[in-house]
Amino acid sequence: MPEPIFSAEDRIDGQPPSSDAAARVAALEAENEQLKKDLFKAKAQDPPPNAPPAPPAPPTGKEFWTDPINTSQKVARETFMQLAQPMQAALINAARMACKEAHPDFDQFKETMQTLLDKMDRWLWTDPVTWETCYTHARGLDFEKGVAAAEARARRPIGEPPTPPGTPPPTPRTLGDIEMQVCAGLEISPETYLKHEERMRKNEWPLTMSNTRRR
């Protein structure tokens, strides 16, 4: 047997060399065993995730031969519920969203629609036709909301708003006496004088400097 690397005199934890290490090992093993038991007990109490629903009980021979139509419908409904239950919430939400996207005023009648849906079996909520029927019925019961919404839409402006009027053109100024004498000497009208005055102000000079008899 190999000799230990450290001797009893090398301990620094203050424990006597004769401390019982086996007792501490046994306590740790007992604690692990208790944790294993608690974990096993917790798993046994929790239901399995996504457990499938129990299959419907088959009808008895007396029930089937006494009323075959209603019994067949009951079996079909229970079988459908068994298959659709895991995805029922998703199907209901898809049917509701399809109806909401088809009708912009869906939110105005959702309370009345919910009242109608509460009177039906929940498996019918997965059918989009059920939501369309409830929407049509709710609009008939609360027709005043539909009329008010239609009147509000009719009062909305159609298309783009009209363009505001632009800035009116400036009023041409009146020529003074000296400027009228210049017009008379050049034989031009006051409008022509003002027109060329504006061109000169914009540095739009004529191609020639000869302005004799220029019109």
Compute the distance between CA of residue 55 and CA of residue 18 in angstroms, rounded to an integer: 66
Write the CB contacts of 95 (distance below 8 Å, at least 6 apart in sequence): 125, 126, 127, 128, 130, 131
How far from 50 is each of 31, 86, 94, 180, 202, CA to CA, in Å? 33, 8, 21, 102, 85
Any domain includes 121: yes
Compute the distance between CA of residue 69 and CA of residue 49 in angstroms, rounded to an integer: 36
Number of domains in the chain: 2
Any domain includes 84: yes
Any domain includes 145: yes
Instruction: Please write the tens of the pLDDT for every residue from 120-176.
Output: 888 788 889 999 999 999 888 877 776 776 677 677 766 667 778 878 877 878 888
Three-class SS state of 62? helix
pLDDT over threshold 80, residue 215: no
Q: Of 61-75, 85-99, 143-157, 182-196, which range is least confident? A: 143-157
Any domain includes 186: yes
Any domain includes 49: no
Asked if residue 208 and residue 131 are part of one domain, the reply reads: no
Asked if residue 108 and residue 75 are part of one domain, the reply reads: yes
Compute the distance between CA of residue 12 and CA of residue 34 in angstroms, rounded to an integer: 32
Range of the structural domain that residue 148 is part of:
66-155
Any domain includes 163: no
Asked if residue 179 and residue 151 are part of one domain, the reply reads: no
Asked if residue 143 and residue 77 are part of one domain, the reply reads: yes
Any domain includes 184: yes
| Residue 95 and residue 125 in contact, taking contact as beta carbons nearer than 8 Å | yes
Distance of alpha carbon 110 from the chain centroid: 17
Asked if residue 135 and residue 189 are part of one domain, the reply reads: no
How confident is the prediction for the chain on average, in pLDDT?
A: 76
Asked if residue 136 and residue 208 are part of one domain, the reply reads: no
Any domain includes 72: yes
Compute the distance between CA of residue 32 and CA of residue 173 in angstroms, rounded to an integer: 107
